[in-house]
Amino acid sequence: MKIDTLEIREVAAAAAPRLDMYGPIHKAMRAMMSDTLLAVGRMDCTDELEFMQVTQRVVELLDFCRSHLAHENEFVHTAMEARSPGSAGRIAHEHEEHVAHIDRLARAVEHLRGVPAAARDAVTAQLYRDLAGFIAENFLHMNFEETRHNAVLWAHYTDAELAGIHDAIVASIPPEEMLYVLRWMVPFMNPAERAGMLQGMREHAPAPAFQAALDTVRPHLTAREWEKLARALDLAPVPGLVG
């Protein structure tokens, strides 16, 4: 993938670390996608409860992907096009292709749910392969956004402006969806990122929302990860916590 000289200069000019709107949410998406794919691959198609739980996870992943694409289109691409016309064109087209792929996968899940248990293996294998292909495309897609799109954003926006765009995205997300995002985002950050995000949330969100965030992510952290987070946020220790 060729990067032109202007973009190389733009990235090099960012001597200090810049605000990266893509990094945290993409960590969440990579974790969510990988975990869901693994669940489909190991699913017992004859266990009705497991079958419904895993297929519902695929539905939830697809719904989230639709929402994520809409947020990027509305907020990030609009900002890029405003100051660098044409800069979001390639990814905007890929977003259209992703929506079509999401719709196909959703229909495949619906079809699978209507197949008798004894005949599910072959249909599940096809869903697994199709989902794997979708995820592979998205991994490459996210890398392009994290490099090429960030180069454009950093060249044309200050960090304060980027923070404003990010805050507008967050404000547009319903509370239930935000908890779903945090469940997949925070556990797969490194300790410094994890503490920084939750500290910012504690400073700007209502106390009940901050507590809900902690309650959501804590079951998905190891005891040592929680200890580091509690120390960074100066939270009261919980006696007897083991991981």
Q: Token pair of 17, please?
A: 């670390």
Q: CATH 1.20.120.520: does it fit domain 20-173?
A: yes
Domain ranges of the chain: 20-173, 174-243
The tokens 């016309």 sit on which residue?
Answer: 85
Q: What percent of the chain has pLDDT over 90?
A: 88
**CA proximity to 201, closest of 190, 192, 212, 187:** 212
Q: What is the pLDDT of residue 157?
A: 96
Mean pLDDT, to the nearest integer, of 112-133?
97
Mean pLDDT, to the nearest integer, of 121-131?
98
Mean pLDDT, to the nearest integer, of 98-106?
98
Q: State which H helix or E strand residue 126 sits in.
A: helix 120-144
Q: Record the pTM.
A: 0.88
Q: What percent of the chain has pLDDT over 70?
A: 91
Is residue 145 within 8 A of residue 133, CB to CB? The reply is: no
At residue 151 the predicted structure's pLDDT band, cuts being 50, 70 and 90, is very high
At residue 17 the predicted structure's pLDDT band, cuts being 50, 70 and 90, is confident
Give me the chain's average pLDDT, please: 92
Q: What is the pLDDT of residue 3?
A: 47
**pLDDT tens column, 172-204:** 999 999 999 999 999 999 999 999 999 999 998
